[in-house]
């Protein structure tokens, strides 16, 4: 009986992996047609909506790509102005980064591949509250 249970779990893992790959392919297709890639240090204006792609690690070192909708902001540092990203999930992009909101941090520095719409989208009302 145990052999059958393990086989069923393997089947579930394969099905889950297939669904995941299909979802990522669908998202990448959307990004490639409706969005353009941004360089990490590209000058982006406050309020610009971006999609940032990250790697999330699950059990057994399984990697998953996740995509977050964020809004660009800037703040002054000792070295000058620095860009930060504020979480701004939507119905289309519902995932929230791990640093938002339960970790008490409202923003983070850019760290993954970023995308912005071919026709830029802005959300000026999303602000960084120190």
Tokens of 75: 């703040």
Which residues, at least 6 apart from 116, have a Cβ–Cβ distance to it below 8 Å? Answer: 35, 36, 38, 44, 48, 49, 50, 51
pLDDT by residue, tens only, the chain of 130 residues: 455 555 565 666 777 788 888 999 999 999 999 999 987 666 788 899 999 988 877 777 778 888 999 999 888 889 888 888 888 889 998 888 876 655 556 778 888 889 999 988 888 777 665 5
| 3-state class (DSSP) for residue 44 | coil
Domain ranges of the chain: 36-117
Does the pTM surpass 0.85? The reply is no
């Amino acid at each position: 009986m145990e052999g059958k249970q393990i086989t069923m779990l393997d089947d579930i893992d394969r099905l889950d992996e297939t669904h995941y790959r299909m979802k990522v392919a669908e998202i990448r297709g959307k990004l490639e047609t409706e969005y353009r890639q941004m360089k990490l240090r590209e000058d982006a204006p406050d309020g610009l909506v971006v999609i940032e792609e990250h790697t999330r690690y699950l059990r057994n070192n399984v990697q998953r790509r996740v995509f977050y909708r964020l809004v660009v902001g800037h703040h002054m540092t000792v070295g000058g102005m620095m860009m930060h990203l504020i979480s701004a999930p939507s119905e289309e992009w519902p995932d929230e980064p791990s640093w938002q909101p339960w970790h008490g941090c409202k923003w983070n520095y850019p760290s993954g591949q970023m995308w912005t719409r071919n026709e830029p989208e802005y959300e000026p009302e999303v602000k960084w509250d120190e």
